[in-house]
Structure 1
Amino acid sequence: MSSSAPTLGALLRNLRSRNGWTLKEMGAKSGIPVSTLSKVEHDRLTLSYDKLLQLSQRLGMRMSELFAENDDALVQPVTARRSVGSIAHSVRVETANYDYHYLCTELRKKRMIPVIVKIRAKTAKEFGALVRHAGEEYIFVLKGRVVVTSEFYDPVILEEGGSIYLDSSMGHAYLAAEGCEEAEVLGVMSSADDEHMQTLLTMHEDRATVGAGSGGERADVGGLRGKRR
């Protein structure tokens, strides 16, 4: 006895049902018009690969999860992964504005990237172009005072113990506030991209030096990306 595979429309209906979304809510989350989603769910239209990729990224899912037929298919195995991190064993990336200490770098395909950042730039002019990359990030001020600037909001000052959560694709910059020589923050960056760490390191490639720990030998970013396990 053979069973036919579910259509894309059935899979999207199941996905919407599992999350309790209306068509309008799913359209708002995915950026795909409600009329298009409705036609797909009724098997009158299909989606291109680019649209499926957009759908998965906007919903914060892997492509494979879009095609899961039931909740059992979404159960993830326990990997028992763990990594104990410290600045002494971090990967250091120095740029004109920041001194990054990437933690737990031996783990690949992390969905969260923890990093200690020392902030030196004090003005928008000194900083230069705002930074943009995929995903979201959370910043917690450990030392000093930080000015957070972004393309859609007025600057905000964070004192020690203050924090901010933002969309990383929005242009943004962190500056040391007036009277603060250097600030230090804990940042956690997340993305649906399994190789987000590699993407972040690529951003530094043309304007950074890299080292292992606080006194390690320096290496180029491209070489470092090739050596990570």
Structure 2
Amino acid sequence: MLLNGETLVMKKEANLNGGPTGEITVSERITALRQEHGLTLQECARKTGVAASTLSKIERGELSPTVTTLQKIAAGFEMDVTDLLTQSRQVGLMQGRRAVSRKGEGKSHTSMSCDNFLLCHDLKNKRMVPIRTSVTARSTDDYPVWAHSDAEIYLYVVKGRMQLHTRIYEPLDLEEGDSVYYDANGEHCWTSVGDEDAEVLWVVTT
């Protein structure tokens, strides 16, 4: 799960790391954002709560940031997390907003532990971020760092079986149709159980 610990980049995705679409990479966006504000890596680390060493690896394209890390960076710069994955920014708010994601749509962000699709990503300044994820991790060892943030998470298992791991409780077994709501301020990670990747729909507060 992207949410749970940074992972070394093993391959480049065309829709995320440049390619035929001509979009700049997430690492390039973060580098440009830091430079636009005239910040050193250490200053950016203090602003976002993300370690300078982690920021450096992300900017060099050596590390794929998790959703949690992207949220911290976005919050530090007072912007929407999806602005780190898209080129345009929505200015101002209006009443009665809505966004629709059709089947198969979503802004892709992939790590070695999860394949994520941020849903309704064109709507900025949301109070929560809906994400569809395939959990590719099978072991907690797949997470060099377990995730934690000030957010709250609601998770619904759409398909397959998985476990929610925390430092407080025993692993929680979840099957298709099960759901859980938890505080993300405790370290946690997800793993699939069996040969099939668990598919989940989860919402994280911003």
Q: TM-score range by the shorter chain?
A: 0.5 to 0.7
> How far apart are 1:87 and its partner, in Å?
4.8
Structure 1 segment 67-146 matched on structure 2, within 5 A: 79-146=95-162
Q: Could you tell me which residue of structure 2 aligns to residue 174 of structure 1?
A: 190
Q: Secondary structure in 1 aligned to 2:104? A: helix
Greater C-alpha Rg: 1
> How far apart are 1:128 and its partner, in Å?
2.8
> Do 1:145 and 1:180's aligned partners in 2 also have CA atoms closer than 8 Å?
no
Q: CA RMSD in A?
A: 1.6
Cα distance between partner residues in 2 of 1:107 and 1:172: 28
Q: Which has the higher contact order (CA 8 A, sep 6+)?
A: 2
Q: Secondary structure in 2 aligned to 1:93? A: strand
State the one-letter code of the partner of 2:98.
R
Cα distance between partner residues in 2 of 1:125 and 1:139: 22
Q: Could you tell me which residue of structure 2 aligns to residue 199 of structure 1?
A: none
Runs of 4+ in 1 over 4 A off after TM superposition: none
Cα distance between partner residues in 2 of 1:184 and 1:88: 13
Q: How many residues align?
A: 114
Q: Greater CA deviation, 79-88 or 135-144?
A: 79-88
State the one-letter code of the partner of 2:146.
L
Q: If each structure's helix is expressed as a fraction of its own residues, which one has the higher value?
A: 1
> How far apart are 1:137 and its partner, in Å?
0.5
State the one-letter code of the partner of 1:104.
C
Unaligned runs of at least 5 residues, structure 2: 1-92
Among 172, 179, 187, the alignment partner of 2:202 is 187
Q: Greater CA deviation, 110-119 or 86-95?
A: 86-95
Among 134, 140, 147, the alignment partner of 2:163 is 147
Cα distance between partner residues in 2 of 1:81 and 1:132: 30
State the one-letter code of the partner of 2:173.
I
Cα distance between partner residues in 1 of 2:176 and 2:120: 24
Cα distance between partner residues in 2 of 1:171 and 1:181: 25
Unaligned runs of at least 5 residues, structure 1: 1-76, 192-229
> How far apart are 1:89 and its partner, in Å?
2.8
| TM-score normalised to structure 2 length | 0.52
Cα distance between partner residues in 2 of 1:86 and 1:154: 36
Cα distance between partner residues in 1 of 2:145 and 2:121: 27
Query: Taking structure 1 as reference, are residues 173 and 87 closer, same or farther at Cα in structure 2, changes over 3 Å only?
Result: farther
Deviations 1:47-69 (A, max 9, x none): xxxxxxxxxxxxxxxxxxxxxxx
Q: Secondary structure in 2 aligned to 1:125? A: helix
Q: Secondary structure in 1 aligned to 2:201? A: strand
